[in-house]
Amino acid sequence: MKDKERGIRYVAPSLIVLTLVTVYPVLYVFYLSLHRKLLIFNISKFIALDNYLFLIRDERFWNALRNTAYFTGLSVALELLLGLGIAVLLNRSFRLKGASRAIVLIPWAIPTVVSARMWEMMFNTDFGVINYLLGVKINWLGSPFWAIHAAIFVDVWKTTPFVVILLTAGLQVIPRELYSAARIDGAGSWQMFRSVTLPLLLPVILVVLLFRTLDAFRVFDAVYVLTGGGPANSTETVSIYAYKVLFQTLQFGYGSALSLVVFFCTGSIGIFYIRLMTGRRT
């Protein structure tokens, strides 16, 4: 009993700090979401769930949610496929292996705002290097179709190295003896990849999907710097929409409701992947 009490005393300061920096802000945001709070007019009125009822009817919110889901699904899928392919190549023995790994990490090392601004200039219709190299004149950031895919491309370019790091670490802990035994049994490269590499790498893949899905769903800086959510809100994500409502129109009540939607969506995604990992372990 004394050990238990001593343990509680040791953990209590950490719990208090976590409560202050996580639980209290979430509860306060929920409190704000129950009010019509407009700082510019000094209005603060309790309206219960009216913000959430308006959110359900808000077409701009649903458009932002669709953009976020499309952005998340496509970018995470591409990052996983590219990251897995690059990780498998980097896991082999070849000359300049260390230099190759360092080069792969360069996009991830560049600050997101800097890389987004760099790609914005490269995608420029008139003097961008992309149109010059392709010999075309495409309005990459001014067309709804091209803008969302340009944003996805930038995200994939930026964060694929993160996927490569985790998957390479997972590949390196797979025992080499398993591949030797598979070769003796007559397995080819594809059979070894399918029967040895993928099953043993699956826990790491789930961790990668967890991190990347959460980050992609909460994406803000790269897309905001690249397109600002335009054109015609075609690249506006839920995080960008919440930011605009909160800090451009100063509607703290409705903006808090939008922020809570992001919070609960990311929480649900995290619980889903954790249950997958726990179920697989079981």
Question: Three-class SS of residue 194?
Answer: helix
Q: Domain 32-281, what architecture?
A: Orthogonal Bundle (1.10)
CB 172 within 8 A of CB 91: yes
**Which pLDDT score, from 0 to 100, does residue 179 have?**
79
Q: Is 186 left (phi over 0), alpha (psi -120 to 50) or beta?
A: left
Q: Where are the alpha helices (DSSP H) in 19-111?
A: 24-33, 50-57, 59-90, 97-104, 106-109
Q: What is the pLDDT along the chain (282 residues), one digit of tens a residue?
A: 566 677 777 788 888 888 788 888 888 999 999 988 887 777 788 888 999 999 999 999 999 999 999 999 999 999 999 999 999 888 887 787 778 888 888 999 899 999 999 999 999 988 889 999 988 889 999 999 999 999 999 999 999 999 999 999 898 888 888 878 888 877 777 888 888 888 889 889 999 999 999 999 999 999 999 999 989 899 999 999 999 998 888 889 999 999 999 999 998 998 898 888 877 665
What does pTM read for this prediction?
Answer: 0.89
**Which pLDDT score, from 0 to 100, does residue 212 have?**
93
Chain length of the chain: 282
**Which pLDDT score, from 0 to 100, does residue 158 have?**
94
Q: Quickly list DSSP for 105-123.
A: THHHHS-HHHHHHHHHHHT
Query: What residue type is 166 in one-letter code?
Result: L
How far is 93 from 245, CA to CA, in rounded Å? 52
**Which pLDDT score, from 0 to 100, does residue 280 have?**
64
